[in-house]
Structure 1
Amino acid sequence: MSVTTFRTESSATPALRPSLGRGALGVEARFPTLTSTVPKELVHRASVAEVLLTDWQRLDDTHFSVAGQWPRGHSFFSPVQDRHDPLIAAETFRQAAILLAHAEFGVPLDHSFLMWDLTVDVRPEHLGIGTAPASVDIEISCHDIVRRRGVLAAIRYEATLRRDGRTAATISGSCTCTTPAVYRRLRGRQLDAPCAPLPLSAPMAPQNVGRTSPVDVVLSPTEEPTRWLLRTDTRHPVLFDHQVDHAPGMVLMEAARQAMVATLGQGAFPRHLASEFKRYVELDAPCIVEACRLPDHAGQARVLVTAHQHGEAVFSATMGADVPLM
């Protein structure tokens, strides 16, 4: 269960018209060559610098086009073997899903989102870092739409992400939207009397999990080489862009990627991620991450990553990767 909760000073939803793209704001008419990001509140980011989307357009009731841009260098989604980090595609999809829910399906800004599953397949040959930021175009179709009292309650998205007309990634995921009252019933204790996070544990060696800085490492070693403690640094400016009462889904997906690299070796490049979010991951209790090597499939090395807290499964991911021949 990957949850996005974002608090604004006002819980009122801005008056958004259908298909409120950049042109509807009156910008293109005066300055047709200028580009800016979408409002950060519509993608649940506190920092404008973390917004990856620049525009969107309604094609029909269930199909949309979203535009975005990936920087050549990012403070967290750093290049992997001279390619864009595959997880930046997952974050782009997450932002697009929330954007459309608010701007096109009328979900109020004070509602919370629960992502239940997310699958990402990338084509490394189309992720290369060029001499300029990468412009991305995302075609999104919406399925299994459920409304309660006229408000979106559940939805599934299927997306194709393209660069220069070439498919760079295909992504899918489903989520539910909850009102503040429902979220309070689910998370009352954590909201009324939040517990202090666990003391920050020592990180794995960055180079062993595909990272260059210990600040970005989300796994701590244990006595067993295939088991780690989830390391949640609530001061991290990207993974914890704003205050939350649980470990964000991106932390868990990054943990899966790092566990995969630790299992397959430093040269492993992730191509496939199929994740399931089962329960909230609390910040004040140990969460154990485990990795198990699976048989290769379709030319990719595979690893199953699972996470448990309080003896219960909270997250799982199957990772597929290219591994260089030795």
Structure 2
Amino acid sequence: MIQTLVPAHAPAPAIGTAPVGPSQSTFTSTVPRQLVHRAAVAEVFLTGWRQLADDHYLISAQWPRAHSFFAPVSGRYDPMLAAETMRQVGALLAHSAFDVPLSHKFLMWDLDYTVMPEHLTIGTRPADLELDVVCSEIRRRGRKFAGLRYEVAIRHEGQVIATGGASYTCTSPEAYRRLRAGQLESAAVPPIPGTPVPPARVGRSSGFDVVLGPAAEAQCWQLRVDTRHPVLFDHYVDHVPGMVLLEAARQVAHAMAPGDTVLLPTSVHSTFSRYVEFGSPCWIEAEYPSGDPTGLDGGLRVTAHQDGETVFAATVTTTALPG
């Protein structure tokens, strides 16, 4: 489960103001950061939205040409930008279109994306994007919104550059406290981050961005948690965020690739079945699909385990790039 929390210190924006449609947006500002569960304005990628039908929305976004964490990959946008953008879509719609209070907690159960590498080349200006969003499986408890599934097509200059979707539920602060009573009472302290694997081996230039630590077994790593990271831990949470697990899956794909192969994670299909807690080790394992000893064609299966339970699973498909 990906759970996102609105920073407690952040002032609430005025929900209910007129939405800004992509056709009207001049990309002069982002949507309020609280609506996408970010503390830093620099981490907000959505810039406006408007409703086309009961279940259909048009959302505008912008990707920067450079980012401190979602760095370019051989001159192309990092596909993980698509994952984070799609995550933000769910939060924005809940608060802006379905009137979910900012105090509610969100639990994401799955997130998928597929990118088109030929359309990810970084140009001479930031990428102004149009997101076509269709909602389904809208759930309510009585008259209150409780969750949904949504599918997204991301377009840049008329071309579809990524597709994907996600599903989530949301709950009141009171219900969340009941759900998390044991963990909240124990006040588990995030561990001191261990030694990272060599950054170049997992497609990173700095150990600070590495979320994998060495393990005693082959094709297994310990999840490395560093709550000082300004992007992965943009604000306080009481467990490991789901985007950390998605990044772990991407880094595992790099670690399993032969030699110095430069990889673009073109497709990720992920599910979240339980919170990853700070209080005990989380182990990341990888398995080649049958008949594909490199994992470059059929996708690499990545799973995360904690306290004997599977907490996360993903299939990562990659494309090898020159250089």
For Structure 1 versus Structure 2, the TM-score category normalised by the shorter chain is over 0.9
Q: Within the alignment, does 1:270 sit opposite 2:268 as a pair?
A: no
Does residue 106 (structure 1) correspond to residue 99 (structure 2)? The answer is yes
Q: How far does residue 13 in structure 1 lie from its aligned partner after superposition?
A: 8.0
Question: Could you report, residue by residue, the CA deviation over 1:245-274 in whole angstroms, capped at 9, with x for unpaired residues?
Answer: 111010000000000111124322211100
Q: Which residue of 2 aligns with 1:174?
A: 167
Residue number in structure 1 paired with 2:286: 291
- Give me the whole-angstrom Cα distance separating, in 1, the residues matched to 2:117 and 2:162: 9
Paired residues of 1:69 and 1:134 also in contact (CA < 8 A): yes
- With over 3 angstroms needed to count, the CA separation of the structure-2 counterparts of 1:11 and 1:133, relative to structure 1, is closer
How many residue pairs get aligned? The number is: 317
Cα distance in 2 for partners of 1:298, 1:137 equals 32
Within the candidate set 22, 44, 47, 2:20 is matched to: 22
Aligned: 1:216 with 2:197:
no
The match for 1:43 is 36
Distance in 2 separating the partners of 1:249 and 1:41: 18
- Which string of whole-angstrom CA distances, capped at 9 and with x for unpartnered residues, describes residues 38-68 of structure 1? 0000000001111111111111110000101
Change (3 A) 1:103 1:292: same
Is 1:81 aligned to 2:74, yes or no?
yes
TM-score normalised over the length of structure 2: 0.93
| Residue of structure 1 equivalent to 2:221 | 228
How far does residue 21 in structure 1 lie from its aligned partner after superposition? 1.7
Note if contact 1:12-1:110 (Cα within 8 Å) is conserved in structure 2.
no
Give the Cα–Cα distance (whole angstroms) in 2 for the partners of residues 87 and 66 of structure 1: 18
Which residue number corresponds to residue 314 of structure 1? 311
Distance 1:35 1:325, change over 3 A: closer
Match of 1:97 in 2: 90
Q: In structure 2, do the counterparts of structure 1 residues 260 and 34 end up closer, same or farther at CA, with 3 Å as the change threshold?
A: closer
Alignment-derived partner of residue 201 in structure 1: 194
Q: Deviations over 1:111-133 (max 9, x none)?
A: 11111011111001111111111
* Structure 1 residue 207: Cα displacement: 0.6
What amino acid maps onto 2:19 in structure 1?
A: G
Instruction: Report the RMSD for the aligned CA atoms in angstroms.
Output: 2.2
- The 3 A distance-change label for structure 1 pair 184 and 253 is same
The CA deviation at 1:325 is: 8.8
* 1:69–1:15 CA distance, 2 compared to 1 (3 A): closer
In the TM superposition, residue 10 of structure 1 has moved relative to its aligned partner by: 7.9
C-alpha distance in 2, partners of 1:65/1:8? 29
Residues 301 and 322, structure 1, Cα contact 8 Å, conserved in 2: no
CA contact (8 A) 2:15 2:95 kept: no
Match of 1:251 in 2: 244
What is residue 119 of structure 2 aligned with on the other side? 126
1:67 is aligned, of 54, 60, 69, to: 60
Moved more, 262-271 or 224-233: 262-271
Identity rate, percent: 49
Q: How far 1:204 moved relative to its partner?
A: 0.8
Q: Which residue identity is paired with 1:315?
A: F
- Which amino acid in 1 is paired with 2:20? R
Match of 2:8 in 1: 8
Tell me which amino acid in the other structure corresponds to 2:309: E
The answer for unaligned runs of 5 or more in structure 2 is none
> Cα distance 1:324–1:70, how it changes in 2: closer, same or farther (>3 A)?
closer
Residues 168 and 12 of structure 1: CA distance in aligned 2, closer, same or farther (over 3 Å): closer
- Decide whether aligned partners of structure 1 residues 58 and 298 sit closer, same or farther in structure 2, where only a CA change above 3 A counts: farther
Mapped partners of 2:61, 2:237: distance in 1: 25
Please give the residue correspondences for 1:118-157 in structure 2 after superposition, counting only pairs within 5 Å. Answer: 118-157=111-150
The 2-side partners of 1:148 and 1:240 are apart by: 31
**Match for 1:225: what amino acid?**
A
TM-score, length-normalised on structure 1? 0.92
Kindly indicate whether residue 110 of structure 2 is the aligned counterpart of residue 117 of structure 1. Answer: yes
CA positional deviation for 1:33: 4.7
Q: Partners in 1 of 2:284 and 2:68 — Cα distance? A: 25
User: Partners in 1 of 2:190 and 2:173 — Cα distance?
Assistant: 23
Which residue is 1:302 aligned to?
A: 299
Change (3 A) 1:10 1:70: closer
Offset at 1:149? 2.7
